Chain A
Amino acid sequence: MIQPQSVGVVTPQLAHFAEPLRLRSGETLADYELIYETYGTLNAERSNAVLVCHALSGSHHVAGYYADDPRDIGWWDNLIGPGKPLDTRKFFVIGVNNLGGCHGSSGPSTLNPATGKLWGADFPFVTVEDWVDAQARLADRLGIERFAAVVGGSLGGMQALSWTLQYPERIANAAVIASAAKLTAQNIAFNEVARQAILSDPDFHGGHYYEHGVVPARGLKLARMVGHITYLSDDSMATKFGRNLRHGKAVYSYDVEFEVESYLRYQGDKFAGMFDANTYLLITKALDYFDPAFEHGGNLQAALARASANFLVVSFTTDWRFAPGRSHEIVYALLHNRRNVSYADIECPAGHDSFLLDEPRYHALLSAWFDRIEV
């Protein structure tokens, strides 16, 4: 359903980059494309641009809808639009699909110009830092020297944080939401289970499944199922499904009995039908690798000394995948460096997925924060 205060019909644009991009892995992308969308108008001073970074399953389609498919609404449409917290009457908002993605930017399911074949497993590993470098080039292309803000939730928050470290002079404000300065071992472990589900699918074919005319749908489905469990909270699952039985009683079968099974299978199938398994592998690795403190001997305070942006850090009380404690680490490391930072732990039952909801206190806070930004 199209929301009121929508940015309306949007059209993605493609930017081609011929200048090689050196990646953290040591490899180089000689040539690549980024697909992006923009909402609002860049002002004459070019000072009102806000970059919205996506997480694992997101894309450049952040707000609005497509003329040929009005049901395809941007993944953060409740945040962005005229009169919404990230107000497109004030800000020029950019969403971009990251390198390695599967929504139109160069990635495993696009053509490798060097071979004329799909990249598949040959697409190089990409990191959060590489994405930020690529986003900076897109900003150059659009004539944006400095972002009024970079905003992201989860993996998107890692990109916002990394922006403040890689290009401190090019970002005035950063909103780091339901995120972390590094994944915990437990968090990496969930990603590893998801990857193993894909890698062990007989249809994976070492990542070159396109050539075989198949997709590792079973593996991708399992990966999404395990991921989905971690995005919800125990309470929200209890409220949504409880122990509800489809047949009202046990029928001693491996078919769907509990409603939660039906839900997970549905979510897994839906995702496996629209997402690329190689992209899933790459993005979970980017999540795992992100650790700006690593090159500072694990000292996050030292790592964040480079940042000069004003920060808003937000966590959610029931988020156990990116727990409030991870946000605390960022907040107190920023405070150590005397950076401007505000932090709220929002009461919301929906777990990690809370950051995508329009919980009133959360959106009021974002509104207040964006309102203070001078452009």
Chain B
Amino acid sequence: MAGYRYDYEVIAQWIEPGEKVLDLGCGDGSLLHHLMAVRQVQGYGVENDPDKILASVRNGVNVIQANMERGLIGLEDGFFDHVIMSLSLQAMHNTQGILAEMLRVAREAVVSFPNFGYWRHRQSILNGRMPVSESLPHQWFNTPNVRFFTIADFEALCELNGIVIHERLAFDEGKVVLEEPNFLASVAVYRLGRSG
């Protein structure tokens, strides 16, 4: 099984046993596979890449092909307990649309993304080059990422859209960062809910 990542443990802690979970951009299904093993979730992945759909089927994970840029058509309001988007939000054009859709179909959303404000990324820019790192492994000319934002940017967007941040964990290449996360953390993981 490829692709086990440190944010999986954080995400698993936020999931109760037996929940209905939707993983947007599920890749090869390894996160869902993990959650099925440790939380016995009823899991579904959404993907639009044929190779990743094949990999998910090989991993025994439910995967549904859909283009998330068009929203989560067909999924019912509040059907899922948690909807997860792990390190994919930065690769979507319709950022606000998908966040609204996630909180429509699930009680809570779990979102992780690479922090473009991480100090090494800032240093790289100061040196005149676009950042390439563990959390941003691509070159500027082949990156799938289309939105470049920081922890501070994301939290401002949540505020603007009435999204409640229940919890946030920040990491520097796998280690928890407690202070100055927008400067010191390479990845952030959020547990989000609707206001009111």
Contacts and interface: CB of A to CB of B under 8 A. Distances in A.
Interface of A: 312, 328, 331-332, 335-336, 338, 340-347, 361, 364-365, 368-369, 371-372
16 contacts: A312-B57, A328-B73, A332-B74, A335-B74, A335-B75, A341-B62, A341-B64, A342-B53, A342-B63, A343-B64, A343-B65, A344-B63, A361-B50, A368-B58, A372-B57, A372-B58
A342 B50 contact: no
Nearest to A364: B54
Contacts of A344: 50, 53, 63, 65
B56 A342 contact: yes
A343 B65 CA distance: 6
Interface string B66-94: 00000001111001000000000000000
A331 B53 CA distance: 15
Contact of B64 (A335, A336, A361, A368): A335
Given A335-B75, A361-B50, A365-B54, A372 B60 contact: yes
B135 to A, nearest CB: 30
A331 B42 CA distance: 15
Contact of A342 (B20, B42, B57): B57
Contacts of A312: 57
A336 B105 CA distance: 12
A185 to B, nearest CB: 21
* The 3 nearest A-B residue pairs measured at CB: A332-B74, A368-B57, A368-B58
A155 B35 CA distance: 37
A37 B31 CA distance: 42
B44 interface: yes
Given A346-B50, A372-B57, 15 more contacts: A328-B73, A331-B74, A332-B75, A335-B44, A335-B64, A338-B42, A340-B62, A342-B56, A342-B57, A342-B61, A342-B62, A342-B64, A347-B50, A361-B54, A368-B57
Nearest to B56: A342
Interface residues of B, number: 20
B54 A331 contact: no
Contact of A345 (B42, B65, B73): B65
Contacts of B76: 336
Contacts of A345: 65
B192 to A, nearest CB: 22
A369 B57 contact: yes
Contacts of B60: 372
A312 B60 CA distance: 11
A345 B73 CA distance: 15
Q: Is the interface of B mostly helix, strand, loop or mixed?
A: mixed
Most chain A beta-carbon contacts within 10 A, residue among B42, B58, B76: B58
Contacts of B42: 338
A371 B74 CA distance: 29
Contacts of B50: 344, 346-347, 361
Contacts of A364: 54
Given A335-B44, A347-B50, A365 B57 contact: yes
Nearest to A340: B62
In this complex, the member of A332, A338, A341, A369 whose beta carbon has the largest number of chain B beta carbons within 10 angstroms is A332
A300 to B, nearest CB: 12
B24 to A, nearest CB: 14
Interface string B15-45: 0000010000000000000000000001010
A312 B57 CA distance: 9
Nearest to A331: B64
A371 B60 CA distance: 10
Contact of B53 (A365, A371, A372): A365
A371 B64 contact: no
Contacts of B79: 335-336
A328 B50 CA distance: 17
A269 B53 CA distance: 41
Contacts of A342: 53, 56-57, 61-64
Contacts of B57: 312, 342, 365, 368-369, 372
Contacts of B54: 361, 364-365, 368
B41 to A, nearest CB: 11
Contacts of A332: 74-75
A169 B79 CA distance: 27
Interface centre among A342, A361, A371 (most CB of B within 10 A): A342
A361 B52 CA distance: 11
Contacts of A365: 53-54, 57
Contacts of B20: 338
Nearest to B55: A368
A332 B74 CA distance: 6
A338 B21 CA distance: 11
B79 to A, nearest CB: 8
Contacts of B74: 328, 331-332, 335
A87 to B, nearest CB: 15
Contacts of A343: 63-65
A83 B170 CA distance: 48
Nearest to B50: A361
Nearest to A315: B65
Most buried by A among B56, B63, B74: B74
A343 B47 CA distance: 10
Nearest to A333: B74
